[in-house]
Amino acid sequence: MARKPKFPAYSVLMSVYYKENPEWLKISIDSMLKQTVFPSEFVLVEDGPLTDELNKVIKEYQKKYKNLFKVVKLKTNQGLGPALKIGVESCTNEYIARMDSDDYSIPTRCEKELEKIVEDNDLDIVGSSVAEFIDNIENVQAYRMLPETNGDIHKYAKRRNPFGHPSVMLRKSKVMEAGNYREYYLCEDYDLWLRMIEKGAKCYNFKEILVYMRVSPDFYKRRGGIKYLKSILKFKTEQFKKKRFKFGDYIISSCASIVACLCPNVVREFIYKKLLRK
């Protein structure tokens, strides 16, 4: 009789578009290929035509790992939500490790997440706290410490995003039950978590840092402005109307977003680094 594997097979899901940095893409992919539990599938969605440099990087990995990479090419740039929706549908495994094209996962990230899933097979989303860095992982700007237990995550989600997107391991069937990703400017992940929670998703976050998220110089700038404010207020109003947010949570959360989006960038950076992070 064949020995039963300790961990279930999993897919890595990543989306790439033309503005990505080729060197950062290599670092991100390599971090997932150096996991102590190797993925059985790497689904990479090309969100529209890419640069020659990015195409070269992807082709090198396809050549080196002939049966691992499944590259899904989109004719036009669809945006992160639609690209990930297609990516989820393309994954053949029940468990999907999300990863962004410019971040870094520690080698034991997926093993720890899968171990937790084996320990509690009812879990649908497993993530971790994250470190935000510039240039290299030694240059950490802030730590985003997230709630650990299912109850605390559900409570936290009523005001703020309870997961670091590139840190999560997802149960595909629960993602599909909730309606999969959809277009929602800079809210694609938060939108999905709330719909999964509404469907009864059980959640967990490791308190330790399993993923380092790269923040570019314009990271805090992109978290402000009218476009993002309109998107986040539309999103939070929708949650309130669907009774996912209580009135008090909705007002406090919305007011905080208004202040953060409309204040000068230097003030916004201070808020993110000193008040919303550790």
Where does the pLDDT of residue 97 fall: very low under 50, low under 70, confident under 90, or very high at 90 and above?
A: very high
> Of 80, 90, 3, 9, nearest to 47 (Cα)?
80
pLDDT of residue 228: 80
Report domain extents, the chain.
10-216, 220-275
Global pTM reads: 0.91
User: Looking at 93-227, which runs of residues are DSSP E strands?
Assistant: 95-98, 104-105, 123-133, 140-144, 169-171, 202-214
- Which fold does the domain 10-216 belong to in CATH? Spore Coat Polysaccharide Biosynthesis Protein SpsA; Chain A (3.90.550)
Q: Please state the φ and ψ torsions of residue 132, each to the nearest 5 degrees.
A: -105, 125
Predicted confidence (pLDDT) per residue in 221-266, tens digit: 666 678 888 888 998 999 899 888 889 989 998 998 888 778 777 7
Predicted confidence (pLDDT) per residue in 175-220, tens digit: 999 999 999 988 999 999 999 999 999 999 999 999 999 987 666 6
Q: How many angstroms separate the CA atoms of 146 and 129, rounded?
A: 5
Pick the more confident residue, 217 or 160: 160
